[in-house]
Amino acid sequence: MANNDSEWRADFPLFQQHPELAYFDQAATGQYPQSVIDALNAYMTGANAPLHRGLYKLAYAATEQFESVRSQVAEFLHAQAADEIVFTSGTTAALNLVAQSFGNLIVDGNSEIIVSIAEHHSNFLPWQHLAETTGAKLLIAPVTADGAIDEDWVLAHIGMHTRIVALAQETNVTGAQLQQVRTIADRVHGQGGYLVLDGAQAVAHTDVDVQALGCDFYAFSGHKIYGPSGIGVLYGRRELLVEMPPVTLGGGMINEVTTLTASFAPAPLRFEAGSQNALGVIGLGAAIEYLQPRRAAITAYLKGLTSQVRSALAELPAVTLYSSPAAPATVSFNVDGVHAHDVATFLDEADVAVRAGHHCAQPLMHALGVSAVVRATLGAYTTEDDCQRLIAGVREAAAFFAEARHES
């Protein structure tokens, strides 16, 4: 079958240079559509200048373009205003900022923090560290049999001491999405706590409305939605951001500095010390412009392909599946008796690129009783032919390693 069943594949130049590639690592990093590349090139060749500093037309224009993306992101997330959007280097930095700044304001030795066993380390380690340094208790929600965070467990464990609930809206290994976000938000708010959502995976597949969700903070990265690496977003409710102290100090985030003291710029600028990643922000804006009008159609298309892959792999006796049946674009699995890295290497020989390892989710790996899994994640450019090659490759890998074990 020709690679023509994804109406978006032609938008991505990488596949013109590598037509043989079946790329299944979207959850780690997506490829660039031509429109994002064009936006980056236009900024580099015709608009680059210092932000928020220069007293000349080019600098004013660069700053205006930069700040227009902040407004664009606010609309993308249905936030109330642009000043609720903080640019960071990625989801990791955004979640660490919340933990280090806001967390230290509200968490003490009597507090409880709830996370899940399925969290990416970026939404696990900051809260584990905060619990260790404050004496707070870290409660860890399990996953259900189908790989979803046990939201009923979360709801049952929110109590008078709960200060933070931090969860992935879509998990990066099982692909399961939260179904009771608003209920969790209302429950934790009723106890005087706050909800933090890791949206790194969900935002590519879901129309995120932070006000409807009721979350207090929301984080995501540009490179998961066909934009550049090194740029991320933290949404925070304005009334919370204005109370938070900065974590990183330096240029661009101050009002006044003397030899004795300093005062800081208002949010969000107080959290954006140093020279900002203007190119990343411009690319993020272009990625949102590409994704937003296509997201519903892409997601529906990917759900169909993902279901096909999952069903086919489920028929192979040697394959164990770990991803959720409802995952929009994730199929995680192992081949019995074969290390995930060996499966990935075997597939790579056929130009099928998958991820293998612990996926920055070692607590989940321990809970599953494995050291690593193979993860295939689909993007707008994935074709049915790609999926058939993946299925065939896994089937061949299972047969190859079974024969190798038999001969040994």
Q: What's the rounded Cα separation, in Å, for the pair 339 and 319? A: 12
CB burial of residue 261 (10 Å; 0-12, 13-18, 19+): exposed
Rg (CA), the chain: 22
Cβ proximity of 164 and 113 under 8 Å: yes
Amino acid present at 181? V
**Residue 193, Cβ neighbours under 10 Å: how many?**
24
Which helix (H) or strand (E) segment holds residue 62: the answer is helix 57-77
**Residue 320, H or E segment:** strand 319-321
Q: Do the Cβ atoms of 113 and 88 come closer than 8 Å?
A: no
Q: Give the pair of three-digit tokens for residue 326.
A: 């409802």
Residues labelled catalytic: 360
Residue 315: is it exposed, middle or buried by C-beta count within 10 angstroms (0-12/13-18/19+)?
exposed
Q: Is 111 helix (H, G, I), strand (E, B) or coil?
A: coil
How far, in Å, CA of 163 to CA of 294, rounded?
37
Residue 242 near residue 84, CB atoms below 8 Å: no
Question: Alpha-carbon distance 302 to 379, whole Å?
Answer: 7
Continuous segment of H or E residues that includes residue 151: helix 151-157
**Which residue in 25, 29, 12, 13 sits closest to 229, CA to CA?**
29
Return the number of other C-beta atoms located less than 10 Å from residue 24's C-beta: 28
Question: Closest Cα to residue 91, out of 119, 68, 111?
Answer: 119
For the chain, counts of helices (H) and of strands (E):
15, 15
The amino acid present at 231, given as its one-letter code, is I
- In whole angstroms, give the CA distance from residue 40 to residue 89: 17
